[in-house]
Structure 1
Amino acid sequence: AQTAKQVIFQKLRDAEREMTYEEFAGREGDIVTGIVQQSERRYTLLDLGKVEALVPQAEQVPSEPYRSGERLKAYITEVRRGAKGPQIVVSRTHPGLLKKLFELEVPEIADGVVEIKAVAREPGHRSKIAVWSNEPAVDPVGACVGPKGSRVRNVVTELRGEKIDVVPWSENPSEFVANALQPAKVREVRVDPDTQTAQVIVPDYQLSLAIGKEGQNARLAARLTGWRIDIKSETQATAVPEAPAEA
């Protein structure tokens, strides 16, 4: 009788695990909210209710402390069957997390009126998103920023202070590159489609802002647009190269 009971319990457990697996299977790319159970250097465990999710070290933001008992949103990257139920791997660094957080905050994105066309992220530091509106009457940047900056501020809070630039997407490469370099102001952009390179000229006083701290602004703009970006100040652009001295 004991063995029969054990067999029944085992089957019930297996059925429960299978149901939990089915609940999460195919949800890669979704966002989940969990409570931090345990945080070590190599991994952090999130309690999702019926199951735990693993945040591997590579998917953690180094500047974020994960404290036991706190609520955390994360992006599902993998769901697989395990011996003790489904194994769910989640990320705090994935660009998809930023995209999903904006979908939650901005009704115009959820409705499909505003689209996030591109995302570039240096987790814990700074991100850029390029947005576009299907309706001319709707300002995509304004919709994402929200009244008095409330929507973007909620995303920044969830990402523990990560700075976010929301810029207008454009199918015109010169325009898109100029937008991507915001908050810097750009004088001129010359694009070469053959080499996928953009030569950008900015006012002298905007050069350091355009390049950004340790090149971050230019780097994120290049990643957002898919163009290699070469930035020069107006003085540098108009400087005549010296003729080589004759021997």
Structure 2
Amino acid sequence: MDPDKPIDIETLRLIAREKDIEFHTVVEAFETAFASAYKRSGQFDADEVRVHVDRGSGDISVYAQELDDDGNVVSEWQEQPRNLGRIVAQTARQVLLQRLREAEREATYGEYVGREGDIVSGQVSLQGNVTLIELGRTEALLPYAEQVPNERLNHGQHTRAIVTEVRRDSRRAQIICSRSHPGFVAAMFALEVPEIEDGTVEIKAIAREAGHRSKVAVVSNNTDVDPVGACVGPGGERAKGVQRELHNEESERIDIIRWSDEPEGFVANALSPAKVTAVYLYPEDSTAMVVVPDYQLSLAIGREGQNARLAARLTGWRIDIKSESQFEAEQAAFQEAFDKGLIDEFGNPLSQEGEEAIAAAYETAEETRAAALEESDDDSES
């Protein structure tokens, strides 16, 4: 860096292309670096120093400035550029590199900010305990908590992820990605299903336990298009394509659910593949009581409660599942207690005997539920 000689403008353009930042930003970084070095050198009796690089010739002009108490320029005069000396020139280099890093960080931040929810793809880079996805001139962080449980990502492997956050830190723009986020499944369906991309089919809700099971609720804005069929695809290929991208075609099951504006219908659909007999809503505590055939009880609940748990997340209702025999046993017991004057029409006890009747009704119903679970067909995929 010699201010006595013109700067090679083509070199600056090359730096701008390599770092993918604006040419004028690179030139301004050089101007700032020279100005900082000149001020530190103490060569001029001035409050401030301004440097201008001609964008065409690369010639350097140096201006000394006098400032008032408010920092305003009251006079400015041109000075002859002089050699900075080795120590001050090193300072100029450091300032230049810092400015270029800041400009590069801002360019990356500007490119990715607002892209939360977008899919990015690149090669996996494993650096110690840190997993990165190389995105050309930058990289995205894939935290361990945002990876799919039991999924093994190998160094150099190509993968995709969804951008969940873009933030600045002291050194660079940081792009945070996820493969376990429910939105990743939704974004992958948008890539696989043209009807989602063009807005014919809409994903209304999604619930996911990454690596195990997802439920996706869809609706069609065209009565001639079946939203479930569009997402499943011919021979199930579209849904399988999403599963392949999850690297869990065998282990992560995806249920495509038909959305309904009617809460009862949506709750019933959400418990698919189980068949539902009836749904009773209690809005005061956001609970849906669902009645299913005895042989469908374990299927509705799912292994370790997963089917019911995901259905609750999908719909926003707390779901209480009862078998038909359990429901009938409860209703019969409550009717008997009501006929005897032990409870009121809302099921509230009117005496100690009424409280005992209610407890007995629930106990009988739970016994009936346990018997139904034992006899219920257990779907191995639930």
Q: Aligned pair 1:31/2:31, yes or no?
A: no
Q: Aligned pair 1:194/2:284, yes or no?
A: yes
Provide the residue aligned with 2:5 in structure 1: none
Provide the residue aligned with 1:48 in structure 2: 135
Provide the residue aligned with 2:103 in structure 1: 15
What CA deviation, in whole Å up to 9, does each residue of 1:99-126 have, x standing for no partner?
Answer: 1111111111111111101000111110
Residue 264 of structure 2: which of 163, 174, 177 is its match?
174
CA distance in structure 1 between the partners assigned to 2:309 and 2:104 by the alignment: 47
CA distance in structure 2 between the partners assigned to 1:63 and 1:173 by the alignment: 35
- Deviation, structure 1 residue 224: 0.4
- Deviation, structure 1 residue 8: 5.0
- RMSD over equivalenced CA pairs, Å: 2.0
TM-score in terms of structure 2 length: 0.60
CA distance in structure 1 between the partners assigned to 2:275 and 2:127 by the alignment: 43
CA distance in structure 2 between the partners assigned to 1:130 and 1:14 by the alignment: 43
Provide the residue aligned with 2:176 in structure 1: 89
Relative to structure 1, the CA distance from residue 121 to residue 39 in structure 2 (aligned partners, 3 Å threshold; closer, same or farther) is farther
Provide the residue aligned with 2:208 in structure 1: 121
Q: Aligned pair 1:210/2:300, yes or no?
A: yes
Provide the residue aligned with 1:235 in structure 2: 325
Structure 2 unaligned blocks of 5 or more: 3-88, 338-355, 358-382
Residue 235 of structure 2: which of 148, 152, 155 is its match?
148
- Deviation, structure 1 residue 66: 1.3
Provide the residue aligned with 1:110 in structure 2: 197
Looking at secondary structure, tell me which structure has more helix per residue: 2
Looking at secondary structure, tell me which structure has more strand per residue: 1
Q: How many residue pairs were aligned?
A: 244
Residue 226 of structure 2: which of 134, 139, 142 is its match?
139
CA distance in structure 1 between the partners assigned to 2:208 and 2:151 by the alignment: 15
- Deviation, structure 1 residue 60: 1.7
Name the SS of the counterpart of 2:151 in structure 1: coil
Asked whether the equivalents of residues 61 and 92 of structure 1 are also in contact (C-alpha less than 8 Å), the reply is yes
Task: Give the residue type in structure 2 aligned to 1:105.
Answer: E
Name the SS of the counterpart of 2:142 in structure 1: strand
- Deviation, structure 1 residue 12: 4.2
What CA deviation, in whole Å up to 9, does each residue of 1:177-222 have, x standing for no partner?
Answer: 1100001111111112222211111111111000000000000001
Q: Relative to structure 2, which stretch is displaced further, 57-66 or 205-214? A: 57-66
Q: Relative to structure 2, which stretch is displaced further, 74-83 or 139-148? A: 74-83
CA distance in structure 2 between the partners assigned to 1:164 and 1:155 by the alignment: 9
CA distance in structure 1 between the partners assigned to 2:228 and 2:196 by the alignment: 11
Asked whether the equivalents of residues 39 and 66 of structure 1 are also in contact (C-alpha less than 8 Å), the reply is no
